[in-house]
């Protein structure tokens, strides 16, 4: 199935424009070269592949909690973009409401990068997100989700799980992290992004080792709670990745009805496009 002409929403992209929005010096990793992607260039990529909207995720790399580039992209995007911000844990409800008015639909947490201890004090923020109807987006790796699952359930926050949960595939489907992710599927309040395969595949494109895990998630969550995402412009990618080949892969792995749900119906409903 050829997906270039199917209207799509990309569930995970980044914008990085250090010329207009310099990186804060205290953020240790500064993306450069082919990792950069301005909002204007992303719009051109989207037009080339029939992608109508994109959920922009504030990158911990480069910007940390500086959301100016993200908010500017949304403001200038003529409705194309909504965003997931990166915020300190003491962000209050008034600040969250102000960000909602600027197109922010959730907050990103990245234990895969920072570790679990870094997020020891986020429970009050998770509760405020739940009260505001905002998403908590987690990028975990291995078995990290097992420690977060009780906190997610206690606060009742709607949850986005990045990049298939980034499992250690060699540990098998009974690994605690995978089982925690499947438990979230049963709660009915969580969504998983079928993306970021290069972050946990051991074989590389076309990610044959990843496919059984993706199919397991699709069966558990259903296409109504799975969203496709490119992860453009592929920060810290271990090798070259391309938007078109990822779309081609989705056309090989999923049926047309599933693609329509994961690439349009689900993200349009979940993020109010």
Q: Would you say residue 1 lies in a domain?
A: no
Q: Which residues contact 154 (CB under 8 A, 6 or more apart)?
A: 123
Q: Would you say residue 96 lies in a domain?
A: yes
How would residue 5 be classed by pLDDT, with cut points 50, 70 and 90?
confident
Q: Would you say residue 225 lies in a domain?
A: yes
Query: Does the pLDDT value for residue 2 go beyond 90?
Result: no
A 10 A CB-CB count for 208 gives 10
Say which DSSP state 16 is in.
B
Query: Does the pLDDT value for residue 116 go beyond 90?
Result: yes
Q: Would you say residue 2 lies in a domain?
A: no
Task: Note the pLDDT tens digit of each residue in 130-143.
Answer: 999 999 999 999 99
Domain count within the chain: 1
Q: Would you say residue 133 lies in a domain?
A: yes
**pLDDT reported for residue 178:** 98
pTM above 0.95, yes or no: yes
Q: Would you say residue 214 lies in a domain?
A: yes
**pLDDT reported for residue 1:** 57
**pLDDT reported for residue 4:** 80
In angstroms, rounded to a whole number, what is the distance separating the alpha carbons of residues 78 and 106? 20
In angstroms, rounded to a whole number, what is the distance separating the alpha carbons of residues 232 and 159? 21
A 10 A CB-CB count for 49 gives 17
Q: Would you say residue 153 lies in a domain?
A: yes
Residue-range definition of the domain harbouring residue 235: 8-270
Q: Would you say residue 3 lies in a domain?
A: no
CATH value at residue 128: 3.20.20.140
Q: What angle do CA 172, 178, 180 make, to 5 degrees?
A: 145
Which two three-digit tokens encode residue 57?
Answer: 């995720």
How would residue 3 be classed by pLDDT, with cut points 50, 70 and 90?
confident
In angstroms, rounded to a whole number, what is the distance separating the alpha carbons of residues 63 and 31? 9
Task: Note the pLDDT tens digit of each residue in 205-232.
Answer: 999 999 999 999 999 999 999 999 999 9
Query: Does the pLDDT value for residue 188 go beyond 60?
Result: yes
């Amino acid at each position: 199935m050829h997906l270039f002409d199917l209207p799509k929403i990309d569930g995970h992209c980044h914008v990085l424009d250090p010329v207009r929005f310099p990186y804060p010096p205290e953020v240790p990793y500064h993306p450069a070269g082919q990792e950069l992607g301005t909002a204007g260039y992303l719009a051109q990529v989207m037009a080339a592949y029939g992608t109508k909207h994109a959920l922009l995720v504030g990158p911990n790399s480069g910007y940390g909690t500086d959301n100016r580039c993200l908010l500017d992209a949304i403001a200038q995007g003529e409705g194309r973009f909504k965003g997931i911000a990166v915020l300190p844990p003491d962000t209050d409800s008034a600040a969250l409401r102000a960000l909602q008015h600027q197109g922010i639909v959730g907050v990103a947490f990245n234990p895969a990068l920072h570790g679990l201890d870094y997020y020891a004090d986020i429970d009050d923020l998770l509760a405020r997100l739940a009260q505001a109807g905002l998403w908590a987006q987690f990028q975990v790796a291995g078995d990290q989700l097992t420690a977060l699952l009780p906190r997610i359930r206690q606060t009742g926050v709607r949850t986005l799980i990045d990049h298939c949960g980034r499992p250690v595939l060699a540990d098998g489907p009974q690994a605690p992290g995978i089982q925690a992710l499947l438990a979230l599927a049963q709660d009915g309040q969580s969504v998983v992004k079928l993306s970021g395969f290069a972050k946990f595949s051991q074989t590389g494109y076309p990610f044959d080792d990843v496919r059984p895990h993706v199919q397991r998630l699709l069966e558990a969550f259903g296409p109504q709670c799975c969203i496709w995402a490119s992860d453009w412009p592929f920060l810290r990618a271990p090798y070259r990745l391309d938007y078109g080949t990822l779309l081609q892969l989705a056309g090989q792995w999923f049926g047309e009805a599933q693609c329509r749900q994961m690439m349009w119906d689900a993200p349009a409903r979940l993020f109010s496009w």
